[in-house]
Amino acid sequence: MVPECVVICREGEITPRMRNRLYCLALIVALSPVALILAQDITGGGSLQRDITGGAALIFRAPQNPTVHVSSGGQGATGGGRVKPTRKPPVPQQDSLIARANAARSAPQPRYAEAEQQYQLAAQIAPDDARAFAGLGNVYVDQGKFAQAVTAYQKAIKVKPDYNGAYLPLAFSLARLDRYPEAIEVYQETLKRDPSSPEVYNNLSFAYNHSGRYQDAVDASLQAIKLLGETGEAYKMGFQERNEIRSYAYKNLGNAYNGLKRYDEAANALRKSSEIEPKNVSAHFNLGLTLYNAGRYSEAIESYKEAIKLRPTLAQAYYNLGLTYYAINDKTAAMAQYETLKNIDAELARQLYDAIKR
């Protein structure tokens, strides 16, 4: 029986995991500070239990500050954008608090404690104003406090169901908490408001994958790719470039095909992703895993070598490369990976040695 491979860790998190002798070591892929990579295990000679991801796959844009009403002659908050002046702001003190909170959040060195305090005061003064709760959610998202962000955004939507600025960061926060069915509901609601958003379709695909809804994930990814277009004008995503988003969409498409065990299609999608982002280490790594699952071992070897070329200290790649050599009965090459791995990760090297020698 062909030994199992090890897959890449969740981006931006240090989450060592061990399951059925499979080790996933902490690895931060320097692609996007807000993006997610989910570690997956494979068993039974390379068959996937769940989808895999290569590099960043969840698109996220920092939410904008809530709008501040500007009185005649008054000034709005920095970072929140100016709106058409109104002579009689509904709650002048409320706007002043939100303006100060916006400024604290948008400062070159954000003052989150101050921003949080000001938004909370604003919520106390006008509990029926969704802006204060949305602002609180933004501050929590900025700090990675996703459970608190969810509560704040849900309050904003409860107060004002058509407060569109709360939906995307709410869905993102739910996804970061692995609450994928809830995230799916929110993304679907968001599509009612913006049915032509590649961002929403891409993130829906990500959430579908992690909910085991692989065909839905395929459909959502293909829609994201269609909206982005192969040759058309770049879709303006704020902080992210069109090619970066296209790469994410192809990664999610590959993950979905993997979940359906359509490995050749998965390999094609992940290869496309790696072509768009040729220096994406994890895209090459996961392409290798997919090719391994398809029994295309020679191609898998080349993908792992490319991952190692880009990141010579990536222990998981040496481990998987050793197992792939073992799958084609090249024990000499497999042992060479063990010898290199000993100097990078002794425990993972021991696991490789045991797999080769058993």
* pLDDT given for residue 340 in this prediction: 96
* pLDDT given for residue 195 in this prediction: 87
* pLDDT given for residue 70 in this prediction: 61
**Is residue 187 one of the residues assigned to a domain?**
no
Mean pLDDT of 187-200: 89
Cβ atoms within 10 Å of 312's Cβ, excluding its own: 11
* pLDDT over 70 percentage in the chain: 75
Quick one: pLDDT band at residue 247, thresholds 50, 70, 90? confident
* pLDDT given for residue 241 in this prediction: 66
Quick one: pLDDT band at residue 229, thresholds 50, 70, 90? confident
Amino acid symbol at 144: G
Domain range enclosing 290: 17-59+208-357
For residues 82 and 103, the model is more confident at: 103
Assigned token pair, 61? 């844009």
Residue 233, pLDDT above cutoff 80: no
* pLDDT over 90 percentage in the chain: 54
Quick one: pLDDT band at residue 19, thresholds 50, 70, 90? very low
Domain count, the chain: 1
Query: What one-character-per-residue DSSP string does 301-331 give?
Result: HHHHHHHHHH-TT-HHHHHHHHHHHHHTT-H
Q: Reduced to 3 states, what is the DSSP secondary structure of residue 43?
A: strand
* pLDDT given for residue 52 in this prediction: 43
Mean pLDDT of 123-151: 96
CA dist., res. 1 & res. 255, Å (int): 25
**Is residue 21 one of the residues assigned to a domain?**
yes
CA dist., res. 120 & res. 48, Å (int): 46
**Is residue 285 one of the residues assigned to a domain?**
yes
CA distances to 43, 77, 303 from 110, rounded to whole Å, are 45, 14, 41
CATH code assigned at 338: 1.25.40.10
* pLDDT given for residue 47 in this prediction: 26
**Is residue 136 one of the residues assigned to a domain?**
no
Lowest-confidence segment of 34-38, 243-247, 304-308 by average pLDDT: 34-38
Amino acid symbol at 325: Y
Mean pLDDT of 39-54: 33
* pLDDT given for residue 285 in this prediction: 86
* pLDDT given for residue 41 in this prediction: 32
Most confident of the ranges 6-15, 50-59, 169-178:
169-178
Residue 286, pLDDT above cutoff 50: yes
Lowest-confidence segment of 125-129, 140-144, 230-234, 344-348 by average pLDDT: 230-234
Mean pLDDT of 282-292: 86
CA dist., res. 215 & res. 205, Å (int): 9
How does pLDDT run across 70-86, given as a tens digit for each residue?
653 334 433 344 444 44
Most confident of the ranges 258-262, 276-280, 300-304:
300-304
DSSP 25: -
DSSP 47: E
Mean pLDDT of 280-309: 90
For residues 163 and 10, the model is more confident at: 163
Assigned token pair, 252? 């999610």
**Is residue 328 one of the residues assigned to a domain?**
yes
Quick one: pLDDT band at residue 91, thresholds 50, 70, 90? low
Mean pLDDT of 300-316: 93
Residue 16, pLDDT above cutoff 60: no
The mean pLDDT value of the chain amounts to: 78
Residue 240, pLDDT above cutoff 80: no
Mean pLDDT of 56-69: 82
Residue 270, pLDDT above cutoff 80: yes
